Amino acid sequence: MQKANKINILDQLAAHARERVETARSGTSLKDIRAMTASLPKGRGAFETAIRSRKIRGEAAFICECKKASPSKGVIDKSFPYMDIACAYDRAGADCISVLTEPKWFLGSDAYLREIAAKVKTPCIRKDFVVDEYMLHEARLLGASAVLLICSILSDAQLREYLAICEELGLSALTEAHDEDEIMRAVEAGSRIIGVNNRNLKDFSVDTGNSARLRKLVPDHVLFVAESGITAPSDTAALRMAGADAFLIGEALMRAERKDQMLRAFRTAANEAVRQKHEKKPAPFIKLCGMRREEDIASVNRLRPDMVGYIFTKKSHRYIDPKEAARLTGHLAGGIIPVGVFVDADPEMILELASKGTIRAVQLHGKESKAYISLLRSALDERVPLIKAFKITCDEDVAMANRSPADLILLDSGDGGTGKVFDHSLLKGIERPYILAGGLDSGNIGSILKELEDTPLAGVDVSSGIETGGWKDPLKMEAFTKAVRGSYQ
């Protein structure tokens, strides 16, 4: 492993990455590698979806790093059984796996990523120093679901260009910043996932307070990742209190003999902390429901809600055939979670749609029992949120919702999408995060959010309020999305 001057390490990493690109291009041209990625099925932003799914459930996501060495710590694991490490993370419920491919100072390898991505079900991010479009295509061919884009080594034009290319390839992009200026650059470029590196790569100093200070500059609808210097559960607890949605942890997990136990401790601390109030109440996530047409998907891809819903009950005029839903999901932008809405459905149908990736969350609107919900929850991948809807007419309905074994509860008027608002004063008894539905539209959502600001509101779900003549109206969809986000600026 070659040692580097600490002050110039970032510049050296970027310079060496350019040399690597030139070498790779001598074997396969940019034109040829573009053609190779164009022949692949488009990626679906699994990295962003995994983090956003955790956020929707009110939990923190964990990106677990697989690396042999680093410039600041030298060799971390001489034997480096990378496949065993990645599989341990996979079994332990990691939301993403970060695989170092930088070969000179981190002793990484493209082969590590290729083999790990082919083996595990957890999405992988290529952790490297992207300085050229070529490296994005390489990442896609290696099986990555995401790449790291570092503001310090990219111009504004490059950052915007690479984000656009990632979108075309179906890759998620984690944009890394170190200070206020880089945060603003990342936001203005349109980054949907922003990470703050607590380690200054120019001098290797570590300050976990960096993430806490910069969090307030990132819009609530943008996912926020705290990176580096996280060594103890108390760190994840403190950063979660500051508003971190996810954590990227390397050395602490790499050195842990029982990685599952260490990850569990980090996760428990973070999720316990979130029960306490943040300095700023986060905006609720947005679900736009009842998608049926390609133009609906085009609108949501532009507006970037957190979730979209497909109605799979044939009694509804918003019903969509599962094959058509699968086709629409293929056009859905990465990071937007497709939700299947069911009424007393055969569990096998639900599991099949989830296993195929047509849906990545389940919403139940029938008379499903606790036993039904528990069995379905155990059969579903843990990364697939399970939501149970409740018709709210009295205090007992609220009490039943509080006791549900579902990951999330949805509270509605229960009138089948007719646009009726229920009595929100009943929500004084709600004890857990919930999704609000029933009669919402761009005209009333602002006042409703203010009315419910002291309740654990997690998300809002709208269908009839964004329709004209029974079909989704792009202008109403935009107005509703802006109204929700504008209420939390």
Whether residues 267 and 290 share a domain: the answer is no
**Cα dihedral 121→353→406→472 (10° resolution):** 120
Q: Which two tokens stand for residue 51?
A: 């983090």
Q: What is the mean pLDDT of residues 45-58?
A: 92
Range of the structural domain that residue 236 is part of: 6-273
- Contact (Cβ atoms closer than 8 angstroms) between residue 248 and residue 228: yes
pLDDT for the residue 209: 85
Say if residue 259 is in the same domain as residue 290.
no
Query: What are the φ/ψ torsions at residue 194 (nearest 5 degrees)?
Result: -120, 130
- Residues 242 and 356 placed together within one structural domain of the fold: no
Q: Residue 279 domain-assigned?
A: no
- Same-domain check for residues 257 and 351: no
- 412 counts as catalytic: yes
Catalytic residue among 166, 289, 296, 461: 289
The kind and range of the H/E element at 310 are strand 307-311
Question: Do 266 and 301 belong to one domain?
Answer: no
Same domain, 153 and 291: no
Of 273, 300, 320, the residue that ends a domain is 273
Write down the pLDDT at residue 4: 46
Q: Residue 9: which pLDDT band, with cuts at 50, 70 and 90?
A: confident
Reported as a single tens digit per residue, the pLDDT across 322-375 is 999 999 999 999 889 999 999 999 999 999 999 999 999 999 999 999 999 999
Q: Is the pLDDT reported for residue 486 higher than 90?
A: no
- pLDDT (tens digit per residue) in 372-388: 999 999 999 888 999 99
The residue out of 222, 240, 273 marking a domain boundary is 273
Q: What is the pLDDT of residues 297-325, one digit of tens each?
A: 999 999 999 999 999 999 999 999 999 99
Please report whether residue 78 resides in a domain. Answer: yes
Going from the C-alpha of 341 to that of each of 76, 218, 365, 468, the distances in angstroms are 47, 32, 7, 21
Residues 114 and 254 both lie in one domain: yes
30 and 155 in a single domain? The answer is yes
CATH number of the CATH domain containing 111: 3.20.20.70
What is the average per-residue pLDDT within 176-205?
Answer: 90
**Is 280 among the domain residues?**
no
Mean pLDDT of the chain: 92
- Name which residue leads in pLDDT, 489 or 245: 245
Domain boundary among 273, 303, 321: 273
Compute the distance between CA of residue 58 and CA of residue 60 in angstroms, rounded to an integer.
Answer: 7
What is the band of 279 on the pLDDT scale with cuts at 50, 70, 90?
very low
pLDDT higher than 90, residue 277: no
Angle at 26 between CA 20 and CA 27, to 5 degrees: 100
**What pLDDT was estimated at residue 7?**
46
pLDDT tens for 218-266 read: 998 899 999 988 999 999 999 999 999 999 999 999 999 899 999 999 9
Q: How does residue 211 score in pLDDT terms, banded at 50, 70 and 90?
A: very high
> Are 268 and 304 within one domain?
no
Of 201, 205, 114, 214, the residue nearest 150 (C-alpha):
201
**Which amino acid type is present at position 461?**
D
In a domain, 1, yes or no: no
Average pLDDT of the segment spanning 447-466: 94
- The answer to whether residues 375 and 336 belong to one domain is yes
Q: Say whether both 342 and 442 belong to one domain.
A: yes
pLDDT over 80 at 5, yes or no: no
Residue-wise pLDDT for 413-454, tens only, equals 876 555 678 999 999 999 999 999 999 999 999 999 999 988
- In this predicted structure, what is the pLDDT of residue 412? 93
Q: Is residue 358 part of a domain?
A: yes
Instruction: Taking residues 187-205, report their average pLDDT.
Output: 86
Distance CA(338)–CA(317), nearest Å, equals: 19
Looking at 296, 412, 441, 461, which residue is catalytic?
412
Domain count, the chain: 2
Q: Known catalytic residue: 397?
A: no
Do 344 and 446 have their domain in common?
yes
Identify whether 115 is part of a domain. yes
- Could you tell me if residue 327 is inside a domain? yes
